Amino acid sequence: MNSGPVLELVDLERHFAGAGGTVRAADGVTLTVGRGEVVGLVGESGSGKSTVGRCAVRLDEPTGGTVRINGTDVTTMSRRALRPLRKDFHLVFQDPSSSLDPRMTVGEIVAEPLKLHGITRGKEAAHARVAELLAQVGLRPEHAQRHPHELSGGQRQRISIARALSVDPDLLVADEPTSALDVSVQASVLNLLADLQRDRGFGCLFITHDLAAVEYLADRIAVMYLGQIVEQAPTRELFADPKHPYTQALLSAAPVPDPVAQRTRERIVLSGELPSPLAPPARRPTTTPAGRPSGGVFDGCRFHTRCPLAVERCRTDLPRLRTLEGGREVSCHLVADDGTAPDAAAAPSRTIPTTRTATR
Ligand SMILES: Nc1ncnc2c1ncn2[C@@H]1O[C@H](COP(=O)(O)OP(=O)(O)OP(=O)(O)O)[C@@H](O)[C@H]1O
Ligand SMILES: [Mg+2]
């Protein structure tokens, strides 16, 4: 067995060309998930998280960059060549109803990957394995006879987890696995995922809006803004000391679960919506020699229009993701190499207006 990372994304790019222009849903994303590691991917709606997740399991085709799973380059692999590798990686979707075939029984759904990859031989072995998997996700053997619509949302998500884990994958991409569920069952499904991850040791790319969940589950967190990773750090360090002004704003919106913790954050409310990915800030349109519009170049930081700390340089100079002393990564001109970072909450309102309200 390979001992390297289970997932490596190098400069991953997924551009969607449409009538209105090109959406840079993922625009140079470099990210690694180690064996048994949980990496959280967070960022506003539309920042490109699902696109990254779908490309990582090749449910979508990257337009550039490289995707390696267990060291194998799968970026342009054909469906047929990919098939035997499919047992190594799985995606759990946000909405379990859309990913479970309503005509199949739960037993058939969970057994399907086992059959497909020839993991269990014969009906009895498959039955036994299905019962075992159902028990592991907290369901009873008789659930195998039911159809997805006869189950609750939480039970359905448990089934997609059982299905994904039936073949013991090395990588699980979980895209908002609990956000479609009732709040009362979210925690139990998250706990289940955490327990299974600990027992089985699969690597996991955990995509979520739920900062409390990601703090609980992830070893490391990558923060996305408009198709790019703007900061990456071990979970504890990121929450204790976010460096990028965007991360500071994102975390400031999270409820502080432990009132005793010294994390009294001032809420930073970013002005405006996430800019359209069709026209990201600081982009200068370019044309081909034939005069047709081409991708454009970036002359500045994509976040500068909403950043409470932006200075002139942020408009004119493109920041790159840099590794700071200590190994954290951040893409911001205002963060020094030794990690010294300005506090967005303490920013005087500059040319870019922000409103700030204190939490609690
Ligand atoms: N098939 C597609 N065709 C065109 N544009 C797309 C397509 N899929 C995604 N996009 C665009 O790419 C951008 C990123 O979308 P994506 O779904 O990856 O965001 P996300 O971070 O997962 O958002 P959310 O948190 O709402 O799930 C969005 O602007 C979206 O409209
Ligand atoms: Mg999404």
Tens-place pLDDT, residues 19-61: 778 899 999 999 999 999 999 999 999 999 999 999 999 999 9
- Do the Cβ atoms of 90 and 169 come closer than 8 Å? yes
Q: How far is the CA of 239 from the centre of ligand 2 (A)?
A: 22
Q: Of the ligands numbered here, which is closest to the C-alpha atom of 93?
A: 2
Decide: 216 in ligand 1 pocket, CB within 6 A.
no
Q: Of the ligands numbered here, which is closest to the C-alpha atom of 91?
A: 2
Ligand 1, residues 23, 178, 226: which to mutate, most atoms within 8 A of Cβ?
23
What is the pLDDT confidence band of residue 351, given thresholds at 50, 70 and 90? Answer: very low
Q: C-alpha angle 139/173/99, rounded to 5°?
A: 55
CB atoms within 10 A of CB 4: 11
Residues with CB under 5 A from ligand 2 (ion): 50
Share of the chain above pLDDT 90, in %: 64
* Secondary structure (DSSP) of 55-104: HHTTSS--SEEEEEETTEE-TT--HHHHGGGGGGEEEE-S-HHHHS-TTS
Distance CA 328, CA 22 (A): 31
Distance CA 60, CA 50 (A): 10
**pLDDT one-digit tens code per residue, 241-264:** 999 999 999 998 766 555 555 455
**pLDDT one-digit tens code per residue, 205-232:** 999 999 999 999 999 999 999 999 999 9
Q: How far is the CA of 47 from the centre of ligand 1 (A)?
A: 7
What is the pLDDT confidence band of residue 128, given thresholds at 50, 70 and 90? Answer: very high
Q: Which residues share a beta bridge with 357?
A: 267
Which is more confidently placed, 180 or 294?
180
Decide: 47 in ligand 1 pocket, CB within 6 A.
yes
pLDDT at 358: 37
pLDDT at 338: 93
The distance of Cα 21 from the centroid of its chain, to the nearest Å, equals 25
pLDDT at 252: 87
Decide: 166 in ligand 1 pocket, CB within 6 A.
no
Poorest-confidence range of 47-56, 192-201, 348-357?
Answer: 348-357
- Do the Cβ atoms of 210 and 8 come closer than 8 Å? no
pTM, two decimals, is 0.90
Question: Atom of ligand 1 at shortest distance to CA of 207?
Answer: 22
